[in-house]
Amino acid sequence: MSRTSARARRALWVAAAAFLLAACTGPSADTGAEEPAPDGGVDSTAPLDFAVITHGSEGDAFWSVVQNGAQDAARDLGVKVSYLADGEAAAQAKLIDNAVAQGKTGLVVSMANPDALRSSIDAAVRAGIPVITINSGADRSTEFGAITHVGQDETVAGEAAGARLKEEGKTKVLCVIHEAGNSGLNDRCEGAREGFGGNVSNLQVDVANPTDAEARIRGALQTDPSIDGVLTLNSQVADRAVAAAEAAGSVAEVATFDLNTDVVKSIKDGRILFAVDQQQYQQGYLPVVMLKLYRENGNTLGGGQPVFTGPGFVDASNADQVETYTERGTR
């Protein structure tokens, strides 16, 4: 797909630029970016004390990699970074409010439920605190006053996954949504439907109840034996889907979004076709780099467009290499 290829090239260029800029924080650095000017201006002398506030859950394999990225960036750049998470939107908004009250000098926020966070993010922007959104809410990021968004376009990623399933010869796909109210997950399934160009149906499960999730997937496959592909949107649901297909005696093969060590091993064993990788370590690392450059040198990245970290694919051809990274918690 030419659209996806163009975005992928831009993502690689922007990611490379971010790391190159990390070594150029002095006044001589010149990226040609516009000079941002939030209310009250940017105090380049204020201590760099950032907060990363996500909608992740305790012990979640995906978000632990984001956290590792943020903490590694803090160590590499010599800045202070606090990582906080709550999967309930109102509680996440409260964490943002607390960070504003504490005088944090930069915020990184995931927006699975943008409307629930609007007033809190507005308060941060009004206070002159730069905000970078990550992972979810790319289409609302600029509207909310964030200086950029780091993540993947969920619709484009879904399209790529759907096209890949079509290439694998699938004719009917079940798209498993594991978190109610997360707009990005719906975008993934809608994108998959477009990229697949065929029959894709959605199934809602609860990632917090993996036994029930497996039972629901098994039930759907038993009800409709013509389903020959399952697309999960979370690495923790992927192996449950594999077990469900086996228990149902289904011919369906599983593909997934996102990685963990179990998913990579299942790809190597031929139990999962592929994983769509959004490289979430970069969603933790890059915003810390960007906030430092913004505070100290007025730099921005993306030119008003999101900075894409995916999609990429992990399959049998590269699973051995990626396994090393998942084991150390950076993929």
What are the residue boundaries of the structural domains of the chain, listed by start?
2-152+279-300, 154-277
Return the structure tokens found at 52: 């990363």
Within its chain, how far is the Cα of 188 from the centroid? 12
> Is-contact 69 102, C-beta < 8 A?
no
- Other CB atoms within a 10 A radius of the CB of residue 171 amount to 13
Q: At 120, is the pLDDT very low, low, confident or very high (cuts 50, 70, 90)?
A: very high
- Other CB atoms within a 10 A radius of the CB of residue 44 amount to 12
> Is-contact 170 17, C-beta < 8 A?
no
Return the structure tokens found at 93: 């908004």
**Closest to 52 in 3D by CA, of 68, 67, 72, 73:** 67
Identical fold between 2-152+279-300 and 154-277: yes
Q: 263-314: per-residue pLDDT in tens?
A: 999 999 999 999 999 999 999 999 999 999 999 999 999 998 999 999 999 9
Q: At 42, is the pLDDT very low, low, confident or very high (cuts 50, 70, 90)?
A: low
**CATH number, domain 154-277, options 3.40.50.2300, 2.40.110.10, 3.40.50.1100, 3.40.220.10:** 3.40.50.2300
Label each residue of 242-297 as H, E or C. Answer: HHHHHHHCCCCEEEEECCCHHHHHHHHCCCEEEEEECCHHHHHHHHHHHHHHHHHH
> Is-contact 290 79, C-beta < 8 A?
no
Q: 252-262: per-residue pLDDT in tens?
A: 999 999 999 99
Does position 11 have pLDDT exceeding 70, yes or no?
A: no
Q: At 60, is the pLDDT very low, low, confident or very high (cuts 50, 70, 90)?
A: confident
Q: Which residues pair with 107 in a beta bridge?
A: 51, 131
Mention every residue, 6+ apart, whose C-beta is less than 8 A from residue 247. Answer: 214, 218
Q: 190-249: per-residue pLDDT in tens?
A: 999 999 998 999 999 998 899 999 999 999 999 999 999 999 999 999 999 999 999 999
**Closest to 246 in 3D by CA, of 209, 267, 218:** 218
Percent of the chain scoring above 90 in pLDDT: 79
Q: Which residues pair with 53 in a beta bridge?
A: 84, 109
The CATH H-level (homologous superfamily) assignment of domain 2-152+279-300 is Response regulator (3.40.50.2300)
Within its chain, how far is the Cα of 186 from the centroid? 14
Q: 133-174: per-residue pLDDT in tens?
A: 999 999 999 999 999 999 999 999 999 999 999 999 999 999
Q: Which residues pair with 150 in a beta bridge?
A: 134, 307
